[in-house]
Amino acid sequence: MLEFFKDYKYFAIVFSILSVIILTTFYNILKVEKPLPIYQPALVNYELVDSTIQHRKKYHKIADFSLINQNGKTITQEDYKDKIYVADFFFTTCQTICPLMTDNMHIVQQKTMNDGDIMLLSHTVTPEIDSVAQLKKYAIEKGVNDAKWNLVTGDKKQIYELARKSYLAVKTDGNGDEYDMIHTENFMLVDKKRQIRGFYDGTKTEDIQRLLEEIEKLKKEYK
């Protein structure tokens, strides 16, 4: 009888060790970090999406573009090739949410300053006002680093279509005027395949922190 309990004791120890190993393995499998979602037009607030693509559920990417930055340089998708970047829409004379958005984008600039994989891209929604000279003045005032952050202007139709057909981020003005836009507080995180991987409220500190964390998470996909 004593020999039986002795053998059972050893069995119980071995079983306990195996149980711990199995449970630890399952825990590690279950806690594997899920990748960031890939946003499609059909999954975004329809007010921010052009009616021609509101049904689209896959294969959405940022379209090719050609715009002019604060230094008068032509900026295209090639300048953002193989980069993760944060995009938004603003205008330099905005006195409501834009100053806070720009301040928060500046925080993102500072936090990613030494990371060559990360860039920023801000599009004006009033290109008729925001000339190259106006953007340059604004860039200097706001501490924009030209190597990392482009403020761009250009053809209003192209900016409108980028806003509503690519970035899924801007409302129309509601009065039927062609290509008029009401910009939102949205920041968009775009991956190296030109896919939208996150939306953030550019006026909220907690969303900026989440954006910075999700930039790091996205970077892991490329390791």
What's the pLDDT score for residue 32? 64
Residue in this structure with the two tokens 């005032």, named with its chain if needed? 141
Classify residue 21 by burial, with Cβ atoms within 10 Å: 0-12, 13-18, 19+. exposed
Annotated binding site: 94, 98, 183
- Dihedral over alpha carbons 208, 64, 48, 55 (to 10 degrees): -120
Binding residues for Cu cation, as ranges, are 94, 98, 183
Residue 167 burial (10 A CB sphere; 0-12, 13-18, 19+): buried
Angle at 95 between CA 47 and CA 142, to 5 degrees: 105
Taking only the tens place, the pLDDT of each residue in 99-111 is 999 999 999 999 9
Q: Is the pLDDT of residue 24 over 60?
A: no
- The per-residue pLDDT for 83 is 98
Domain 41-222 homologous superfamily, CATH: Glutaredoxin (3.40.30.10)
Give the pLDDT band of residue 2 (cuts 50, 70, 90): very low
Bridge partners of 105, per DSSP, are none
Q: How high does pLDDT run on average in the chain? A: 89
Show contacts of 15-18: CB within 8 Å, 24+ apart. none
Whether 185 contacts 198, CB under 8 Å: no
Question: What is the value of pTM for the model shown?
Answer: 0.84
pLDDT (average), residues 88-98: 95
pLDDT average, residue stretch 23-30: 46
Q: pLDDT tens digits for 151-178?
A: 999 999 999 999 999 999 998 876 666 7
Are 108 and 208 within 8 A, CB to CB? yes
Strand partners, 149: 120
